[in-house]
A and B are shown apart, each in its own frame.
Chain A
Amino acid sequence: MTKNPLPPAKNKDGAPDVWQDLRSLTRARIGLGRSGNAQRTTDVLTFQAAHAQARDAVHTPLDVQAMLEELNGISCLCVRSRAADRSTYLRRPDLGRRLAPESQAFLQKGEWDVVFVAADGLSSIATQKGAIPLFRAMLARLKGWRIAPLVIATQGRVALGDEIASALGARMVVMMIGERPGLSVADSMGVYLTYAPYVGCPDSARNCLSNIHQHGLPTSVAADKLAWLMQEAMHLKLTGVGLKDAAPDSSLPEHSLPSIEKDPHA
């Protein structure tokens, strides 16, 4: 145990909190203390507050209008998936992976190297905070690329980007999407890069950067990694396992492939 130069913290009863040093080793809720066998009131309420934030991140609609204002004239397109509402979205991941018919009709084929998509996913708050800053950072790093207008998608899953890219004629798609919120982080964004995407494209053909949020992977670092992945994808004409294997160890975070078992339908 490390020596703590500060006087020990006191708990409610005025006794020293001997767990303080241990808590520096993990964010896990250790050393909570007990009321009989149960958790104390403050811990029960702290937990409920965190759960409430996570649920709100799932159920709050993406504020598309605010994103348009933030883009301040940068061209963008708004689409939605076939999942009509949040309840349908949660039960039917298949519908969240396909464009609504009117959105299909709305997208026109062009000649693009890449399309960026900002989708709500399971945390609209993450997308609201993180997508446009990352998009701007990428614009600054991708000089000479033919970049399609930003697509803002609601009730979207990762694979929705495949259909969007096909419809627009983009060679690759970058899907920026809210990750399933946890109790400690409700605003974490994931980014999925797919080369030559098509409807029904397997997850093994994607590369992923996850955990992008204020206390996780910073936007500038994520942008550098993504730019590297995109250059390599353009060069190798592929993404997924083949690209990950080609990466030098330091260029990718540990979880650069979609983690199938943990979150199969992000």
Chain B
Amino acid sequence: MGFQYSLGGERYVFDDLKALMAAASPLRSGDELAGLSATSDAQRIAARYALADVPLDLFVRTELIPYEADDVTRLIMDTHDTAAFAPFASMTVGDLRDWLLSHEATPAALTAAAPGFTPEMAAAVSKIMRNQDLMSAARKMRVVTRFRNTIGLEGCLASRLQPNHPTDDLKGIAASTLDGLLYGMGDAVIGINPATDSVANGLALLDMLDHARRRYDIPTQTCVLTHVTNTLEIMNKGGAVDLVFQSIAGTQKANEGFGVTLGILKEAHEAALSLKRGTVGDNVMYFETGQGAALSAEAHHGLDQQTVEARAYAVARAFRPLLVNTVVGFIGPEYLYDGKQIIRAGLEDHFCAKLLGVPMGCDACYTNHAEADQDDMDNLMVLLGAAGITFLIGVPGADDIMLNYQSLSFHDILTLRSMLNLRPAPEFAAWLEQMGLFDAHSGRMRELAPHQTRLAQLVG
């Protein structure tokens, strides 16, 4: 089925819904690499006009990737909540944008509507929303999850403390963890990307983190971001697994490229639930996503990179995750070329995930071959903070010495919390105060040296 729109005396034709969505997408290098981008700025806007007129129920009736060929399509179609969708069934994409920004779209209404939206609807509406629309709509969407603390409450900004080390040195990781805790980081998770992806190494890292957490009774969760099959084996060996981590993408083939299937995720989810390690809730999954993953695995099926990214959130929401984050600038300039493209993608990913009911955080980051710097990350973190992002990732001095890229520093997140008057998760905030790290009187994190705190023995 084709689409067309006339603009400025020119008639623009789009072969199908995939092509229309791709042409409507804001410019990014990954869509250019895939040969899917609009061929002119005018064609892009004509596509947006045409997309705004598309009825939402067309997305329910259209398989952008065939149902028989792709288990993510089957998941999306089979779990679509028609009752939740009913109030929107006669709307167009343009109508949905107007509703999302209206005062009728309250947090409660948005929460109730979430199961009625599909990733393709979310992607479509995002393409006709400006950055401020993505922010103001997402800000109203609350997704609250729990394990040892409560993530996603209004007025809160959680953080993942990422203490990576190039040789997984336990004391080196402990030193970075100590540094982060002194800045009030780590309420979303204390999570290590291991340099060596093995079961034995994962067990050792988890044991160290769990020991530190229990010693100081920290109300948070720990995670080693190893492959899900390793985590399954670690659980079988009795390892201290709070959260199961996995990178996921929006098509079956791209997930196969990550060595993962929906069946493996289900098995790991059930195994983690059976451990009953959560104290205030049972959200036990942690996923990372990012635009460009499907294209880099040659598994995008002709979909633009933002639409196929949104489909990953359908995978995520099927497993009630505690945390999800887009690793927005990590993949490199062939997918997101510069700060402008990275910032736009970060806002899109956050909006689409929240619209679908997914607890979205962000690794605001870039590599050294992208046209971006720490000023772009400053911009992105403030925009995401204003948009109500669930959590951000912090590394010492914004420099990840294992993965060789730049994210946010602990200072950055502390600054953001202060500027926007955001607090850590409540259980964690109370712990910071009990430990004497947070001064309730001034509302500030105290500037303390390790030996001035009870955490001094964290590095054995």
Contact = CB atoms under 8 A, between A and B. Distances in A.
Nearest to A90: B333
B253 to A, nearest CB: 15
Contact of A261 (B179, B247, B399): B247
Interface stretch (B69-77, B163-171, B342-350): B163-171
Given A18-B449, A51-B373, A182-B404, A265 B334 contact: yes
Contact of B411 (A28, A38, A254): A38
A26 B165 contact: yes
A250 B337 CA distance: 40
A182 B368 contact: yes
A32 B401 contact: no
B367 interface: yes
Interface stretch (A72-80, A91-99, A125-133, A221-229): A91-99
B332 interface: yes
A37 B171 contact: no
B334 A51 contact: no
B450 interface: yes
B136 interface: no
A22 B181 CA distance: 15
B333 A51 contact: no
B411 A32 contact: yes
Interface residues of A, number: 44
A97 B231 CA distance: 36
A184 B401 contact: yes
Interface string B409-446: 10100110010000000000000000000000000110
B339 interface: no
A265 B296 contact: yes
A106 interface: no
Interface in A23-42: 23, 25-34, 37-39
Contact of A264 (B296, B373, B399, B414): B296
A1 interface: yes
B397 A29 contact: yes
A184 B176 CA distance: 17
A25 B451 contact: no
Contacts of B414: 34, 37
A15 to B, nearest CB: 8
B179 to A, nearest CB: 4
A122 B415 CA distance: 33
Contact of B459 (A1, A181, A264): A1
Nearest to A31: B179
Contacts of A32: 396-397, 411
A181 B404 CA distance: 7
Given A18-B450, A183-B406, A264-B296, A25 B33 contact: no
B91 interface: no
A261 B450 CA distance: 35
A264 to B, nearest CB: 5
Interface residues of B, number: 52
A138 interface: no
Nearest to B331: A264
A103 B395 CA distance: 44
Given A26-B176, A28-B396, A34-B411, A91 B29 contact: yes
B53 interface: no
B368 A58 contact: yes
B32 interface: yes
B33 A55 contact: no
A28 B368 contact: no
Interface string A146-161: 0000000000000000
B178 to A, nearest CB: 7
B447 interface: yes
B205 to A, nearest CB: 14
A180 B411 contact: no
B410 to A, nearest CB: 9
B398 interface: yes
A92 B334 contact: yes
B29 to A, nearest CB: 5
A54 interface: yes
B333 A30 contact: no
Contact of B401 (A28, A55, A181): A28
| Residue with the greatest number of chain B CB neighbours at <10 A, chosen from A57, A93, A94, A261 | A261
Interface in B282-309: 296
A85 interface: no
B176 A28 contact: yes
A92 B397 contact: no
A30 B176 contact: yes
B398 A47 contact: yes
Contacts of B172: 25-26, 28
B399 A28 contact: yes
Given A22-B175, A28-B163, A94-B33, A181 B450 contact: no
Contacts of A102: none
B396 A30 contact: yes
A26 B401 contact: yes
Interface in B178-218: 178-179, 195-196
B149 to A, nearest CB: 22
B369 interface: yes
A37 B411 contact: yes
A122 B171 contact: no
A63 interface: no
A47 B178 contact: no
A43 interface: yes
B182 to A, nearest CB: 9
Given A18-B451, A30-B175, 9 more contacts: A26-B173, A28-B401, A29-B399, A30-B396, A34-B447, A37-B445, A38-B411, A90-B333, A183-B406
Interface of A: 1, 18-19, 22-23, 25-34, 37-39, 43, 47-48, 50-51, 54-55, 57-58, 90-94, 122, 180-185, 254, 261-262, 264-265
A-B residue pairs, 9 tightest by C-beta: A29-B397, A182-B404, A26-B172, A54-B368, A30-B179, A28-B396, A22-B175, A37-B414, A25-B172
30 contacts: A22-B175, A22-B450, A22-B459, A25-B169, A25-B172, A25-B459, A26-B172, A28-B395, A28-B396, A30-B176, A31-B179, A32-B396, A37-B418, A38-B411, A39-B409, A39-B411, A43-B397, A47-B397, A51-B368, A51-B374, A51-B406, A90-B334, A91-B32, A91-B33, A180-B404, A181-B404, A182-B368, A183-B399, A184-B401, A265-B332
